[in-house]
Amino acid sequence: MHSIAFVTNTALLLVGVGLCLSTSAEENTVRSTRGPEGHRMIVIGGAIFTMGSPPNERGRSDDENQHLVRIPRTFAIATKEVTVKQFGRFLSENREFETRFKSATAARFGDPPRLALAPNSPQVAVSWYDAARYCNWLSAKDGIPKSQWVYPDTIDSERGIDLAPGYLYRTGYRLPTEAEWEFAARAGTTSARYFGDDDKDLGKYAWYDANSKDLRSHPVGQLRPNRWGLYDMLGNVWEWTLDRRKAYPIGSELTEDSEDTELHVSNDIARTRRGGSFSYEWFTVRSAHRGATTYFPNQTRDSVGFRVARTVR
C-alpha cells in the first residue's frame, strides 16, 4: 500500500510510513511516497471554501463570482503535471492509439513537435479524451477494478462518452473537478495566488509569458510549490479539469461540488481547464481564473496538459 499525506482545512495528518514532511514556515510542503508510474499524490479531506474572486481582485473576469462550495469527499491530487515520459509509457503500451496520437500531433504541431521535448516536461497536445484514456490506464496499473473506473473502457472522441453514474464516488483515476482544482491550488489561501497578491513574486512560482518568453513549457517542479507541495498549479501549462463549463451560482447559499446531471460528454459542450500557461498573461495565472468558454474536449493545444486525481474512501 502506498503511504500518503492527508491534508484538511485545519491540520496535516500522516497516513502510512516512509513520509517526508517539511513543516518549515518557508515551504510547508507535504510529500507522499511514489505511486503508480511515479505519481506522487496528496490527499485532501472534504472542505467548505469560497470559490471565485472578490470584485476588487486585480485581473479578475466577470465569470469568477464568489460563492461557497462544499466538497463532500476526500480526494487525492498529483503534486505535478503528467510528464512526457509518463504519457510516453502509456503510449508504448497502447500501440494503435500511439500511432493515431503521434500522427495527429505531427500534423498539428510538426514532426518533431515544436513543444515540450524534455521527458520531464508536462505532456501537452492532449485532448480531454486523451487525459481520460491515460487515467484509465493508470487505474489498471494500480489494480483498480473497472467497476471503479470513472471513464468507459472504450473512449470515442468523435461521438463522445458517458461518465459512469456516481462517478465521483468511484476510486479510479480521473481529472480533478473544477472545485477540487481550485481548493488544492489555493492551499488554504484567499489571495489571488497561493503566495499572495503581489505580481512581483509571480515568476518564482509560475511560468507565464513574461518569464518563459512565450517559447514552450518547462520541466515540472522547477519553481516553488504551494504550501501543500503542489507544483505548477499556476502557469507552465493549462490543466484540463473534469467538469462541463457552467456559470457560477449567484447568491450566498452553499453549493455542493457534486456529479453533473448531464453524464454525456460531447464535443459541442465545453469543458473546463485551469491555471494559465507559459504563453498567457499574468492575469490568467490566478487561482480563480477559469479561462475561455470555448475549450471543447476534442481540442488540443501546445499549452494544455493535465494532472491526475481520484476519490479516496
DSSP secondary structure letters along 139-173: HHHTT--GGG-SS-SS--TTT-EEPPTTGGGS-SE
User: What pLDDT score does 116 carry?
Assistant: 59
Each residue's pLDDT tens digit, 205-224: 999 999 998 788 999 999 99
Q: What is the dihedral of CA 49, 52, 54, 59, to 10 degrees?
A: 140
Burial 17-32 (b: 16+ CB within 10 A, else e): eeeeeeeeeeebbbbb
User: What pLDDT score does 24 carry?
Assistant: 31
β partners of residue 215: none
Cβ-based burial of 185 (10 A; exposed 0-12, middle 13-18, buried ≥19): buried
DSSP label at 264?
A: E
User: What pLDDT score does 7 carry?
Assistant: 59
Domain that holds residue 161: 4-312
User: What pLDDT score does 34 carry?
Assistant: 64
Report the relative pairing of strands 238-244 and 67-71 from DSSP bridges.
Answer: unpaired
Determine the Cα–Cα distance for residues 312 and 206; give it in Å rounded to an integer.
Answer: 29
User: What pLDDT score does 11 carry?
Assistant: 34
Low-confidence spans in the chain with pLDDT less than 70: 1-34, 112, 116
User: What pLDDT score does 15 carry?
Assistant: 31
Each residue's pLDDT tens digit, 90-110: 999 999 999 999 999 999 988
Yes or no: say if 280 and 209 are a contact pair by the CB < 8 Å rule. yes
User: What pLDDT score does 32 carry?
Assistant: 65
Q: Give the residue ranges of DSSP H helices in 187-285.
A: 202-205, 209-212
- CATH code assigned at 195: 3.90.1580.10
Q: What is the dihedral of CA 226, 229, 231, 234, to 10 degrees?
A: -30
User: What pLDDT score does 23 carry?
Assistant: 30
Yes or no: say if 306 and 240 are a contact pair by the CB < 8 Å rule. yes
What global pTM score does this model have?
A: 0.91
CA triple 174-133-165, angle to 5 deg: 50
User: What pLDDT score does 283 carry?
Assistant: 97
SS3 87: helix
Total count of domains within the chain: 1
